[in-house]
Amino acid sequence: MNVTLIGASGFVGTRLLDLLKGEDYSLKNIDLLPSHFFNDLTTIGDVRNVEQMKEMLKGSDLVVLLAAQHRDDVTPISLYYDTNVGGMKSTLEAMECNGIKRLVFFSSVAVYGLNKENPNEEHPKDPFNHYGKSKWEAEQVLQEWYKTHQDWNIDIIRPTVIFGERNRGNVYNLLHQISGGKFLMVGSGCNKKSMAYVGNIVAFVKYMIDNVNQGYNVFNYIDKPDFTMNELVGLVEKVLNKKIPKVHFPYWIGMCGGYCFDLLAKLTGKKLSISSVRVKKFCATTEYDATKVQSTDFKAPFSLGEGLSRTLEFEFIKPKTDDVVFKSE
């Protein structure tokens, strides 16, 4: 099978290429940036350029669309829609031009919005930021496309926050703060945080490539059971064998601090690791339903605790052999 990945020079794509390369696939990666580990498979290209995509997708049997603008602070805002929605339109046009009828698309649980009660795939969509809004618009493009292309196989994955070795996103920042003793618990710590270990999410993509090859399918991806913030801190304590202070600060104090950092970022023009949006995300219950994935015969290779332990050991215990990291949310 000729599998083309678009946007696979980043964190998830790199791990997916690593998993698939030993299998019976012919692989290609199209990305604006070179790959740290798979440059031999990578061609520089822009998902927004339909003519480039038409040329680069020739000979493909299946496309995995990972390319996205996903940070909280992307400027200008139009980049979210140019890449996440416009890139979808370009990809579909290029696929049709080349007779490709299988697509795996990385969307996000951000389409549901914040503080929803364990939403499943059918839950009303209420994205609160431009990332979530643009991902939902991209899904709506796919819905309309499928109405006239029902012989296609479209598989959509909505992962929760993905973490793992080498990632420099929100989960790593949290683990780093906890491990370094610079962690302030805002709220009770009883809010649950749905997460997905990168080793599991790429295994699920491979499962879909191999087994889910008909129809229009949407799956939330979460490693269950969810951890509360208090349980997460407890795991870090155990793996790193260190005592973590458990002082809790009220939510309103945390938000005031976040707004102060927003102002500081605006005045200095610098992107800071703390903001009101990140405080809001930290205190939100981000628990999502994964019953649909659990009803399949997919078996995640790692538990959530194992994924967190592997990440903690790689980042904070084992000696580093290189300095390659991937920055994301």
> Is 80 tagged catalytic?
no
> 35-67 burial by CB neighbour count: b if 16+ within 10 A, else e?
beebeebbeebbbbebebbbebbeebbbbbbbb
**Residue (of 218, 147, 114) closest to 125 by Cα position:** 114
DSSP 272: P
- Cite the DSSP H helix spans in the chain: 11-20, 50-56, 78-84, 86-97, 130-147, 170-179, 198-211, 229-240, 251-268, 276-283, 291-294, 304-316
Which residues, in sequence order, are bridge partners of residue 227? 193
> 176-205 burial by CB neighbour count: b if 16+ within 10 A, else e?
ebbbeeebebbbebebbbbbbbbbbbbbbb
C-alpha torsion sign, points 50, 56, 58, 64: negative
Residue of 80, 131, 197, 288 with catalytic role: 131
Helix (H, G, I), strand (E, B) or coil at 18: helix
| Contact yes or no for 280/259 (Cβ under 8 A) | no
Q: How many CB atoms within 10 Å of residue 269?
A: 6
If you compute the radius of gyration of the chain from its CA atoms, what whole number of angstroms results? 20
Helix (H, G, I), strand (E, B) or coil at 205: helix
DSSP string for residues in 78-133: HHHHHHHTHHHHHHHHHHHHTT--EEEEE--GGGG-SS-SS--TTSPP---SHHHH
| Contact yes or no for 239/146 (Cβ under 8 A) | no
Active-site amino acid positions: 131
